[in-house]
Amino acid sequence: MSPIFVTGGAGFIGSALIRLLMAESDYPVVNIDKLTYAGNLASLPGLLTEPMYVFSQTDICDRAALDRLFDQHNPAGVIHLAAESHVDRSIHGPGEFIQTNITGTYTLLEAARAYWSGLSGEARARFRFHHVSTDEVFGSLGETGLFTESHPYQPNSPYSASKAASDHLVRAWHHTYGFPTVMTNCSNNYGPCQFPEKLIPLMILNAVAGKPLPIYGKGDNVRDWLYVDDHARALRLVFEKGTLGETYNIGGHNEKTNLEVVDTLCALLDELKPQPDGRPYATQKTSVADRPGHDKRYAIDASKISHELGWTPTETFETGLRKTVQWYLDNPAWVAHVVSGDYRNWLTRNYGERT
């Protein structure tokens, strides 16, 4: 069976997708990841000896390397998640976001299109390129309303602007070249193996380390939270059954203010890992200056993927968050490697020194 290329498979969502594909499908997977600070192969335990899995440390901006991978593996399709993904980093240093999210997506599209152009028959008919994007491309909502697939693009951060640009490239490649694409725009994800710069793992780890829990401004920004395994299931479904040229919004129907998220986390930790002196974790909350240009509210209308493909999330915010807190408490080795930076030596430790 031809493999699927998953770009960014060592990241938070990509690793959840690969764990799902390995456990529940027959697809061989080629994981293409540059291993930036956000790439962590320890999130894919046990795959080293798995014959259905290949890892390639490759930058999606490297056209020659991508061409070699397409020639070598003859994939049935691509699910493209590789990106710079952290809004705060994009504010302090937008260059990498322009490079990976725009130039990288362009380079990957062109390599994939060249490969697809040389296919014929069934291989050509089944090939598809799935671009994974975010609801942040739509900008910010007021008190009411939801993002549908036809919502105007109004990206406000360098991150969301670079993702919006990549979405436009994918759309144009379909429209101009007939290149077989599908696209998904998902809300905020949470779950195991998320790099602890993002809100939920940051709060869990700071709380148990006795550190302050920094909350932007009044903590009243609203995000629509989705458990990462529900996103992975939706990605598989759209890759297999989505209509070419279409986009699908994915969301969890879980609108929460940042303050609600932190309060729920603190209550869960009070229950699952009470402090020796009985002090509630919520006493560690601290307000910090707001993020510049901070979008007020995101909320997804996921009715299209639900009606057309039958996807609905399996986790509620309460069940998903409980699983997430428990995972971080149960996996101190993963956390310690990330916090110490040791995870960056994972390849060398497991494969030896590479030239």
Ligand X SMILES: NC(=O)c1ccc[n+]([C@@H]2O[C@H](COP(=O)([O-])OP(=O)(O)OC[C@H]3O[C@@H](n4cnc5c(N)ncnc54)[C@H](O)[C@@H]3O)[C@@H](O)[C@H]2O)c1
Binding ligand X (rule: CB under 6 A), the pick from 4, 6, 13, 321 is 13
Residues 83-142 that bind ligand X (CB under 6 A): 83-85, 100, 104, 132, 134
Distances (CA, A) of 145 to 142, 174, 223, 301: 7, 29, 13, 9
Computed over its alpha carbons, how large is the radius of gyration of the chain? 20
Residue 277 appears among annotated catalytic residues: no
Calpha distance 77→242 (Å, rounded): 13
Calpha distance 300→71 (Å, rounded): 38
Residues 146-205 that bind ligand X (CB under 6 A): 163, 186, 188-189, 195
Residue 62 appears among annotated catalytic residues: no
Could you give the angle at which helices 317-330 and 258-272 cross, rounded to 10 degrees?
50
Hey, how many other C-beta atoms are within 10 angstroms of the C-beta on 24?
A: 11
Burial class (CB in 10 A: 0-12, 13-18, 19+), 286: exposed
Nearer to ligand X, 28 or 104 (CB): 104
Q: In this chain, which stretch among 8-16, 206-214, 305-313, 321-329 interacts with ligand X, using CB under 6 A?
A: 8-16
Count the residues of the shown chain that bind ligand X, applying the rule CB under 6 A.
30
Shortest Cβ 33–ligand X spacing (Å): 5
Is-contact 273 210, C-beta < 8 A? no
Residues 62-81 that bind ligand X (CB under 6 A): 81
As beta bridge partners, residue 80 has 7, 131
Binding ligand X (rule: CB under 6 A), the pick from 3, 8, 158, 313 is 8
* 313 lines the binding site for ligand X (CB under 6 A): no
Q: Indicate which residue of 136, 149, 224, 229 is catalytic.
A: 136
Binding ligand X (rule: CB under 6 A), the pick from 6, 10, 79, 232 is 10
Nearer to ligand X, 275 or 327 (CB): 327
Residue 298 appears among annotated catalytic residues: no
* 39 lines the binding site for ligand X (CB under 6 A): yes
Shortest Cβ 166–ligand X spacing (Å): 8
Coil, strand or helix at 148:
coil
The token pair at 56 is: 């390639």
Q: In this structure, is the dihedral angle defined by the CA atoms of residues 186, 192, 197 and 203, taken in order, positive or negative?
A: positive
Using the structure block, give the residue that is written with the tokens 């040229």. 245
Q: Indicate which residue of 135, 149, 167, 295 is catalytic.
A: 135
Which residues of the shown chain bind ligand X in the complex (CB under 6 A)?
A: 7-8, 10-14, 33-36, 38-39, 59-61, 81-85, 100, 104, 132, 134, 163, 186, 188-189, 195
Query: Which residues carry out catalysis?
Result: 135-136, 159
